[in-house]
Amino acid sequence: MLEYLTAFLILVGVYSVFTLGLNLHWGYTGLFNIGVAGFFALGAYTAALVTIRPPFPDQGEDYLYAGDLANRLDAVAAIAPFDLWFPIALLAASLVAALVAVAVGAITIRLRGDYLAIATLGIAESVRLLFLNESWLSNGSRGIYTIPRVLGELAAPQDYDRVYLVVVLAVFVILFAIVRTLVRSPWGRVLRAIREDEVTAQACGKDVFRFKLQAFVLGAIIMAIGGALYAFNIRAISPIAFTPLLGTFIIWAMLVVGGSGRLYGPIAGAFVVWAIWSGSQFTPNALGLLPEALGAPILAALESVGLANVRYFAIGALVVLVLLYAPAGITPALDRYRRRLWRGTGRGKAEPG
């Protein structure tokens, strides 16, 4: 049970990083980016390619780590031992994402609404197809395997998940602190002004294009770091993990459920949506607790449509309910509950003088 909880919290932390970057795009700047999977893939593949060991001579072609590129990147091992490459991988993922975001943003950032969404979706698919078809770069559809563990041999195998959970949470806390500082600064207030009324912000003398490009690049870097964290957790990646459904829809659902434009929205949304996603595997066990006359027909119906599809339906239904009854997400409701609880304990009352 502890191992499952640790694995669950690791992925909640990773998806919180993705949602944090998307929140900077949409929640604070109004950039309708549905190409999250592209930066997700860039971060994951860059981190993997920088840190993998070259293939051994006795391994077959199906087990090549990354075509010929791994041999060229073996110089990284000479610069730093494999126990110390984690910061190098995060830096490389950030740099690649920043360069791509600048190039993409310079072309697309002036597009608005649906046009920007279509452009970012197309670019994300282009990135995925690049990794799918260019075997020399990414081993094609076979993907990249045996990505090294964070801290190498410094952590015992049985303790690795717990150590990695601490690493993921530390990275998230650092990124969260950076984003919180920025969005509460004058720079962040300009972003919110652009989100609310771009024309008025421009009339006030703000360089809208420059601010939007800065937000786009920073959000892309955060998403790429999330991709790197994902790769080090799974330790095997392939292009199928970066489809729009798995690489974009889930993250958008987390942002909508948690609350866009709110600092703690990514955390709440990632926790709730990933709990539904991962908890759906326990549906048969849960139905087994019901009387057979009630549970058996439900289980048969679910098996007829595929238990894996239940999670999509459940998350989609949750998104619709949130949009209808809590458009600002669940974070405001949690804040109200926290304040009510705080008042109930008497801590919110002034001390008698």
What residue ranges define each of the domains in the chain, with the CATH number in brackets? Answer: 2-344 (1.10.3470)
Rounded Cα distance between 274 and 15, Å, is 8
Instruction: Specify the pLDDT at position 114.
Output: 86
Q: Is it the case that residue 61 has pLDDT exceeding 50?
A: no
Structure tokens at 70: 């791994």
- Please say if the pLDDT value at position 353 is more than 50: no
Q: Write down the pLDDT at residue 200.
A: 93
Q: What is the pLDDT of residue 62?
A: 45
Full-model pTM: 0.87
Cα–Cα distance measured from residue 185 to residue 215, given in angstroms and rounded to the nearest whole number: 13
Tell me which long-range contacts 340-345 makes (C-beta under 8 A, separation of at least 24). Answer: none
Judge residue 238's burial from the number of C-beta atoms within 10 Å of its C-beta, 0-12 exposed, 13-18 middle, 19 or more buried: middle
Find out whether 116 and 29 touch, Cβ atoms under 8 Å: no
Ranges 195-204, 208-217, 303-312: which has the least confidence: 303-312
Contact 49, 130 (CB under 8 A): no
Task: Report pLDDT digits (tens) over 15-51.
Answer: 999 999 999 999 999 999 999 999 999 999 999 988 8
Q: What is the CA radius of gyration of the chain?
A: 22
pLDDT tens digits for range 208-234: 999 999 999 999 999 999 999 999 999
The secondary structure element, H or E, covering residue 118 is helix 114-133
Give the mean model confidence (pLDDT) for residues 160-181.
95
CA 312 to chain centre: 17
Q: Are 229 and 99 in contact (CB under 8 A)?
A: no
Using CA atoms of 7, 316, 334, 221 in order, give the dihedral in degrees to the nearest 10: 60
**pLDDT of res. 283:** 58
Q: Which of 28, 11, 1 is nearest to 271 (CA)?
A: 11
Residues 81 and 77: their CA atoms lie apart, in Å, by 6
